Amino acid sequence: MEWKNIYRGMIMGASDVIPGVSGGTIAVLLGIYDQLIESINGFFSKEWKKHLAFLLPLGVGVIASILLLSHVIEWLFEHYPGPTKFFFLGLIIGILPYLFHKAEAKQTFKAQHILLLLIGAAIVASMVFFQTGETEPMTEFTLQSYLFLFFSGMLASSAMILPGISGSFVLLIIGVYSTIISAVSDLRIDVIAVVGIGVLIGIIVMSKIIHFFLENFPAGTYALVIGLVIGSIVVIFPGVPSGATIILSVVAFALGLGIAYILGKVEYEA
């Protein structure tokens, strides 16, 4: 078992609670994105035990984080949204040099790869213009609402596994974010189960698509992934801080950069 995946999963789980921050991005920051995609696909092969050893502690960390830290993250996001987002900005910007290094961009990136990078960045950055359709949490659940939640979870998880695209943000756009967060907080098992099944199916389907492109078009896929991560900077950026939040935002950003540097040393240069 790769027990250090528990802390990785906890970071991914905490980030998934925040609209605009992608769990896929965090997986890239942690240097496990390729292995995550490979393990999800390999789980249904003869080597499932090896991949289970990677996925199980990661899943434990994600679930534990969502259950234990969701209230903390929500509180930070509600009371200190600017500094919280600047922290994640620091993480993302700080890890970019390691991503380019891992992709061997100087040696492998050509004009078409730069174009893919720009397209990826533009796709994610354009999400900042989307108006969210967030509504009050659902109070009555019918077969139709359960089906809607199932497909919402499937769509959100398909987006979540892509770096730069936040599953929570997709849920906000669809209008079910508050319903799902409320269900997690209140331990509504029926809602959690329906959404969870949708999430699982979405992750499996999207991981197979990504795995195909990583296997057959590695340079192009890395270029697109880096572009998606860069684009998320625009989505997460909360604006220029003012007043008392300036110092907090600067400290949070610096902390994010520092942690990114440590992660880069530990995860990418290990």
- pLDDT score at 83: 92
pTM for this prediction: 0.73
Across the chain, mean pLDDT equals 84
In this prediction, residues 19-27 reach a mean pLDDT of 75
CA-closest candidate to residue 191, choices 140, 146, 135, 144: 146
Amino acid 70: pLDDT: 67
**Residue-level pLDDT at 135:** 59
What is the reported pLDDT for 270?
53
pLDDT at 132: 52
Distance CA 97, CA 48 (A): 33
Torsion angles phi and psi, residue 87, rounded to 5: -60, -45
**Closest by CA position to 17, among listed 79, 75, 96:** 75
pLDDT, tens digit (0-9, with 9 covering 90-100), for 202-223: 988 988 898 899 889 989 988 9
CB-CB contact of 63 with 232 (8 Å): no
Helices (H), 187-217: 189-216
Confidence of residue 267 (pLDDT cuts 50, 70, 90): low
Structure token pair of residue 219: 């340079």
Burial 55-79 (b: 16+ CB within 10 A, else e): bbbbbbbbeebbeebbeebeebbee
Asked whether residue 56 carries a pLDDT value surpassing 90, the answer given is yes
Amino acid at 229: V
Pure H helices in the chain = 5-16, 23-29, 33-42, 48-79, 81-102, 105-108, 111-125, 143-160, 167-174, 177-186, 189-216, 218-236, 245-263
Confidence (pLDDT) at 19: 63
37 vs 43: CA distance, rounded Å: 10
d(CA 91, CA 89): 5
pLDDT of 269 higher than 90: no
Give the pLDDT confidence score for residue 130 in this predicted structure: 66
Statement: residue 14 has pLDDT above 60:
yes
